[in-house]
């Protein structure tokens, strides 16, 4: 399990880094063509790309026509161009027997907990520094400090926090514009998106690109809210800029959902360049972002190793710890063929003596269905250790479950799952699992290859 976590973290880091670099490269173009509001949506590419990890692995089907046997096997991995670095990382750091794997997980978990703790302390310190909050109206609250600017605090029920001198420090027009900016944050669900950004920062705390992306994302949020306020109000740009300038002397109070200093200078410099974007441009930008993110995610999934062939089972060093089972099924005492589907976790397939053999590393599932007799079975075989396997099965007759046997079997002797007639004791349905000795199978494979 620890090895799989490290492997998944390595894959996620590679996907996240690729997506962040793509967004950073496209960011200037999006700002110029579509504006800041569309640019914030461009960041959706990052979580969309990482979701490729939850997609099912590519699968392939190999059919042995002589025996009417369909074997379904899954292949794991990334693009061929990424296989070598991932394989090297797996061999060096993610070997289940390698003692460094637990150390890596402990190191990562320590950084994750430390990051969360720092952010929680920062948020608590900010809240305490505000003093007593006085509710004004709706989501507006007045704090006791006078040396901060308006800010949004909270996630599930966010509030706008105003300084105690808000009504005297700014003109009526400036107060209106600044409140529009903060309400834009609420309307755009920025606190919730900042939480997503925080999760990525904590999970990938070791990756500088995750922190850089968080800082840029926060800037784009501020630019987008400024655009919401000023895009159609050219006459308000000067008082708005003066209001921002007055905040230059305020003390920076960073919440847990912020990273890096507030981009006040950049916001003021961008005000003259703000332009109103037509709704069609916004829709085109969103469509382009969705297509780009989907393409990037599906490309990472589709470029997994091709179905033309799995790893070579003749590599005894790679497949020495894999396992396999032959299956023999009898109905009313007679051996049947029917259709048998096999699906294995991290599986490979080979053909020896004109017979298909499937090897799995951790988990193997079998599904048998014979329409003529009405019997069917679902069997899951999970490795417990080198010599034992846990078998969970469900036997059905005409679509109704008649038994759910569960048992622990060894790797040296056959095991049977059987349903008998309660009156006569005659066997109605019997599924026998015969362990496959992988070493003998590989030896037979080598001899077949030599001949």
Q: Which helix (H) or strand (E) holds 351?
A: strand 348-352
Q: How confident is the model at residue 444 (pLDDT cuts 50, 70, 90)?
A: low
CA dist 10 and 5 (Å) reads 9
pLDDT in tens, 199-211: 999 999 999 999 9
* Mean per-residue pLDDT, 422-448: 74
Q: How confident is the model at residue 95 (pLDDT cuts 50, 70, 90)?
A: very low
Please say if the pLDDT value at position 15 is more than 70: yes
Q: Which helix (H) or strand (E) holds 135?
A: strand 134-137
How confident is the model at residue 94, as a pLDDT?
38
Q: State whether the Cα torsion 399-403-408-411 is positive or negative.
A: negative
How confident is the model at residue 2, as a pLDDT?
63
Least-confidence region, from 46-60, 85-99, 430-444: 85-99
pLDDT in tens, 239-292: 888 888 888 766 555 554 544 456 888 888 888 888 777 778 778 888 888 888
423 in helix, strand or coil? coil
* Mean per-residue pLDDT, 9-13: 86
Please say if the pLDDT value at position 61 is more than 60: no
Phi and psi of 237, rounded to 5°? -70, -40
Please say if the pLDDT value at position 304 is more than 60: no
Residue 416 forms beta bridges with which residues?
A: 432
Tokens of 319: 């497949």
CA dist 267 and 223 (Å) reads 6
How confident is the model at residue 308, as a pLDDT?
39
Least-confidence region, from 180-189, 211-220, 385-394: 385-394
Question: How many Cβ atoms from other residues are within 10 Å of residue 75's Cβ?
Answer: 18
How confident is the model at residue 231, as a pLDDT?
81
Tokens of 47: 């979580």
* 8 Å CB contact between 239 and 175: no
How confident is the model at residue 213, as a pLDDT?
94
* 8 Å CB contact between 304 and 79: yes
Position with higher pLDDT, 441 vs 162: 162
Nearest of 140, 163, 161, 166 to residue 151 by alpha carbon: 161
Please say if the pLDDT value at position 72 is more than 60: no
How confident is the model at residue 186, as a pLDDT?
92
CA dist 297 and 187 (Å) reads 28
How confident is the model at residue 339, as a pLDDT?
61
Please say if the pLDDT value at position 431 is more than 70: yes
Q: How confident is the model at residue 442 (pLDDT cuts 50, 70, 90)?
A: low
Residue 376 forms beta bridges with which residues?
A: 369, 396
* 8 Å CB contact between 319 and 442: yes
Tokens of 82: 């990424």
Exposure letters 311-349 (e unless 16+ CB within 10 A, then b): bebeeeeebeebbbbeeebbbeeeebebebebbbbbbbb
How confident is the model at residue 265, as a pLDDT?
83
Tokens of 334: 């007679």
Residue ranges of alpha helices (H) inside 247-400 are 264-270, 279-302, 316-319
CA dist 322 and 437 (Å) reads 9
CA dist 395 and 15 (Å) reads 41
Share of the chain above pLDDT 90, in %: 22
pLDDT in tens, 144-196: 998 888 999 888 889 999 999 998 888 999 999 999 999 999 999 999 999 99
Residue ranges of alpha helices (H) inside 130-171 are 166-169
pLDDT in tens, 156-166: 889 999 999 99
Q: Hunting for tokens 């640019």 — which residue is that?
A: 39
Tokens of 211: 């922190």
How confident is the model at residue 350, as a pLDDT?
56
Q: Hunting for tokens 């907990």 — which residue is that?
A: 113
What value, to the nearest 5°, has the Cα angle with vertex 202 and ends 196 and 208?
105
Least-confidence region, from 121-130, 297-306, 424-433: 297-306
Share of the chain above pLDDT 70, in %: 73
């Amino acid at each position: 399990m620890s090895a799989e976590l490290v492997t998944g973290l390595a894959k996620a880091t590679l996907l996240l880094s690729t997506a962040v670099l793509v967004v950073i490269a496209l960011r200037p173009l999006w700002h110029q063509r579509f504006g800041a509001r569309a640019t914030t949506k461009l960041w959706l590419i990052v979580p969309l790309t990482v979701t490729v990890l939850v997609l099912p692995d590519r699968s392939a089907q190999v059919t042995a026509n002589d025996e009417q046997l369909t074997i379904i096997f899954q292949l794991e991995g990334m693009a061929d161009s990424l296989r070598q670095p991932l394989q090297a990382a797996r061999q060096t750091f993610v070997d289940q027997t390698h003692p460094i794997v637990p150390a890596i997980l402990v190191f990562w978990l320590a950084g994750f907990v430390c990051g969360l703790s720092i952010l929680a302390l920062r948020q608590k310190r900010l809240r305490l520094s505000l003093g007593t909050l006085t509710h004004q109206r709706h989501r507006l609250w007045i704090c006791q400090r006078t040396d901060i600017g308006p800010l949004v605090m909270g996630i599930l029920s966010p509030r706008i926090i105003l300084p105690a001198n808000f009504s005297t420090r700014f003109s009526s027009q400036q107060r209106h514009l600044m409140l529009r900016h903060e309400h834009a944050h609420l309307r755009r669900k920025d606190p919730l998106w900042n939480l997503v950004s925080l999760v990525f920062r904590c999970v990938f705390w070791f990756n500088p690109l995750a922190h850089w992306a968080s800082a840029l994302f926060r800037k784009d949020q501020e630019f987008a809210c400024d655009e919401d306020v000023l895009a159609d109000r050219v006459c308000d740009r000067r008082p708005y800029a003066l209001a921002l300038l007055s905040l230059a002397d305020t003390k920076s109070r960073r919440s847990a959902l912020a990273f890096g200093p507030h981009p006040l200078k950049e916001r003021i410099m961008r005000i003259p360049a703000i332009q109103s974007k037509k709704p069609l441009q916004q829709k085109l930008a969103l469509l382009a972002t969705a297509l780009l993110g989907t393409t990037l995610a599906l490309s990472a999934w589709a470029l997994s190793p091709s179905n033309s062939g799995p790893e070579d089972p003749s590599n005894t060093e790679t497949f020495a710890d894999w396992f396999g089972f032959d299956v023999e099924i009898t109905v009313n005492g007679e051996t049947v063929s029917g259709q048998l589907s096999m699906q294995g976790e991290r599986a490979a397939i080979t053909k020896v003596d004109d017979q298909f053999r499937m090897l799995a590393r951790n988990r193997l599932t079998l599904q048998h269905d014979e329409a003529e007799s009405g019997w069917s079975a679902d069997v899951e075989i999970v490795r417990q250790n080198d010599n034992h396997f846990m078998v969970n099965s469900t036997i059905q007759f005409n679509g109704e479950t008649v038994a759910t046997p569960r048992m622990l079997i060894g790797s040296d002797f056959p095991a049977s799952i059987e349903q008998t007639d309660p009156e006569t004791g005659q066997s109605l349905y019997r599924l026998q699992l015969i362990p496959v000795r992988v070493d003998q199978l590989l030896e037979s494979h080598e001899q077949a290859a030599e001949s």
